[in-house]
Amino acid sequence: MGKRFDPGAQVGVVIVGAGPAGLVLGNLLLDRGVDCVILERRGRAAVEGRARAGFLAAHSVRVLTEHGLGAGVSARGRAHGTCLFRSERGEFTLDYGRLGRGEVHTVHPQQELVRDLIAEYLRRGGELRFEAEVEEIAEGRVRVRGGEDVTGRYVAGCDGHRGVARAALTARGVRTARRDHGVSWLAVLAAAPPSMAAVGYALHERGFAGHMARTESVTRYYLQCPRGTDPADWSEERIWAELATRMRTADFGPLREGDVIEKAVVDLRSDVLQTPGAGRLWLAGDAAGLISPSAAKGANLAVLQAERLALALERALAGDEDGLAGYAAECLPRVWRAHEFSHWMSGLLHGPAGDDAEARYGRALQYARLDSLRTSRTHQDFFAENYTGI
């Protein structure tokens, strides 16, 4: 789709993956006059319809707006600056938009952002090949199953943490730091209006529950569940009953229910590559590092990395490769800071199960963290700065 390059011709950058990282990167490169092609293994309908994250940080909105990619966010996004915590000790709302740096999130479903980015990339004359499954990446040459190879002076891997690009980089000896948080969520997308004005975090002895608005008629819910849970075991009735229990609707009022559109189990894991690239292959988004969803950082890190990688690749194509080393040096500290906060959030939201002495101790620490967040302005400012920042 869009501009077609001659088979065998070398382009400036071959981008593998049409998620937020790849699409933002492609648009920014085109904006700088760099020819590129995006290869995506899935079909267009699957890419544009996949419901994922929905919270954009102020930095992400700035990047999109400055580069002519923010029309949809401006038209349909909703500013959001509060989160609510519930537990057996009651509830409190944190107005984080008035704390820290005074930044808020913009709620904008990722699939809508992806649709906008695809349309703008094609409008700008970029080439995007759907159903182009990459089999191998070697020295700028990208082999596509059943199609011709595509060669670029550089390859940008934006195809996720299980993608070919990451495998190609780790095969060179690049090491990974990783953590399994030992927690799983049943992720539920419901055709139901939000039940709270805020993002809702509920702490319960049965496990964590979360409420995240997506649109006026669609809400994302999370339920902590045992590792290995089969989503098919969770009927709609069971989902709504468990949400009601953990969100203590008997104390705070009922949820607005609706049909369950989608349900899947997410295992909370995190990892970071020691470097996001080498030579002619550089990564962004989940390909460079997977972060748990407990603090809504994934898509925002992808936008940050895409912005920085676009600048670095532009310099490299002009003969200055120092920018690529700078890309790693600048991004990795920010990535680790996001991981540290996500790890802290995971500890806040997930208490240990059971009634033995260690479990009781762990849950007491969990509530101590929550009480500090409720009462300490210093803690609240720290939370707000890290919750919204990248």
Q: How far apart are CA 37 and CA 40, in angstroms?
A: 10
Q: How far apart are CA 363 and CA 180, in angstroms?
A: 20
Beta bridge partners of 136: 143
387 is catalytic: yes
Which residue among the candidates 20, 80, 161, 211 is catalytic per the annotation?
A: 80
**Residues 21 and 303: beta-carbon distance below 8 Å:** yes
121 is catalytic: no
Residue spans of alpha helices (H) in the chain: 20-31, 44-49, 58-66, 71-76, 110-123, 164-170, 236-246, 249-252, 298-317, 322-349, 357-375, 377-388
CB within 8 Å of 331: residues ≥ 6 apart: 276, 288, 304, 305, 308
Token pair for 149: 């190879």
What value does the CA radius of gyration of the chain take, rounded to a whole number of Å? 21
The kind and range of the H/E element at 39 are strand 36-39
Which residue among the candidates 201, 221, 222, 327 is catalytic per the annotation?
A: 201
Which residue among the candidates 263, 276, 293, 339 is catalytic per the annotation?
A: 293
Which residue among the candidates 96, 154, 221, 387 is catalytic per the annotation?
A: 387
297 is catalytic: yes
Token pair for 141: 């040459």
352 is catalytic: no
Backbone dihedral angles phi then psi of residue 317, each to the nearest 5 degrees = -65, -25
Beta bridge partners of 201: 85, 210
Which residue among the candidates 297, 327, 339, 350 is catalytic per the annotation?
A: 297
Could you give the residue numbers annotated as active site?
A: 80, 201, 293, 297, 387
